[in-house]
Structure 1
Amino acid sequence: MDTQQNTALTRALAEVPGPLPTYGVIHISLPHTDRFTVVGNHLAQHPDLSCTAVGIAVRIQSLPQGAKVGIKALAARCKEGEKRIAAALRELEAHGYLRRVRDRLPSGRIITRTVFCNRPAALQHPRRPAEAPPQPAKPEQTLAPAPVPAPMQELAPLPASASVPVPVPMQEPAPAPAPAPMQEPAPAPVCLPMAAPPAPEAPVAPPTPSAPLFVPRVPPPTAPKAPRRPLPQPSELTPELDRAATTFLSDLHRHAPQFTLSEDDVRRLVPGVAAWLERAVRPDSIRRTLTDDPPQPLKHPAKLLAHRLTELLPPAPPGVDDLAALDRPRPRFTVTPFQTCEDCDRAFRSPTPGHCRDCRETRAAYAQAAA
């Protein structure tokens, strides 16, 4: 008697169609009549978005047009901090749900508009305009022709060579034509004015597809990937280089146990290591470069070694002529030394000691006055 029962919940569970599952969630779906937002499963069940990003997206989608959705505005409404909200907005922008577009107003002021799209996948394909519903036929085309005298009804069936069809009245059955008039061609000038076809409509140009609002920066998963660069090759794979590279790869697991290679992997990576050895790189430097900070867990060590051998290949050592160019004497520039003025002890540049410019001018003025 001390356990409180929720009769409303029990009644709602009884109205759920089908047998109730023994585990997992049970949905009680009640229709909304006001204050609701439609959210697609592509957003609610997005495999690459965090729950914070999904919640922020639903919050933005439920706000009215023109509402502020900046980091500080969302932080004032949500319990998450500004850093988590900023990270969630970056996730939404990376997956195409959110865009920030710079626009220029007629007054010349540049503003930033925040655009939220509830279905970014639909913007990747040009949208076709909705087709117009079929127009009903005109009344004058659907009504049966007025009854005509008997001679004109006999002239209704035209020969097969006539290019313009003549409609036959559907309200009253026409009398059977005689065999003789069927064999003779009917005079066309009498019936052509009544059976004139409607003027052909001008061909309508196909509507140009509207350009998408924006192009997502993140390529779709089905986009073609750039081909991988080939493994570096030495200029000549000598027996000494082959033996040294094979020994280096076979002994790599003693220094880094996670880089245990098979025999096929060793044979495939030998040319890349030989290219490094040919460029006068020491084996300990190669080992440190290839095995430094590997990902955890390391699933494919051979692929990681092939990638680093290709992308981190050092340049070829300089030749004798290049080193000789470095040893050439550089041109020397003559620098005017500093001198100390004999009168005012001011420093000035001059090849010979003496007086500065001010003292020389003062002496010249005194000499003119004395003269």
Structure 2
Amino acid sequence: ALRELEAAGFLARTRERLPDGRFVPRTISYNRPGADREAARETPRAREASETREAGEAQEEPPAPKALERRPVPPAAAPAPAPPAPTRSPLPERHHAAASLLAGLRGREPRMLLSERDVRRLAPGVTEWLERGAHPEAVSRTLCATLPHDLAHPAGFLAHRLAALMPPPLPAVPVAPPPPDPFQNCDDCDRAFRAPEPGLCGGCRAWAAA
């Protein structure tokens, strides 16, 4: 396209030599092809280089370099202290057994790898299972049974299973009646009767009292 514009007279491309000996391309565009072309003016860069060279030749001695003013370097600011790590409240003692059970699930099923935060969040649910009479081995087996193949969030799965499969509380144990007194032989008539200690039967006590 540039060659076609140049052939039609809209464009002129030349090479210009700078005072330092380098050649640079120069492109001139024309709004009216065939008009008188003015003499190419000197480029600002070439004129600046020429004026600099002439000024350098006219000057006899180079100016003395100015002494650099040294400014005091401000001391580097001390790095800000790191914020203290947030302290977590200790886990209540009643949840220690549940936390140990949850942390050990990965030994039974590698996909049940829980973070410390997840263990603290799920421990109260496991504690409720244990307080309802569930054996720890039965709890571990139930939580790890029939896991889905695409298990991506074990903590969420365990939270759902702990709530959905919560065992009922144990029924109240009835209070057994006290055992009856043992049999004793009366010291007078040798009859058998129930009493906490040996002695006279009821009839012999009544006769003795009379």
Same fold (TM over 0.5): no
Larger relative strand fraction:
2
**What is the TM-score when the length of structure 2 is the normalising length?**
0.39
Computing the radius of gyration from Cα coordinates, the structure with the larger value is 2
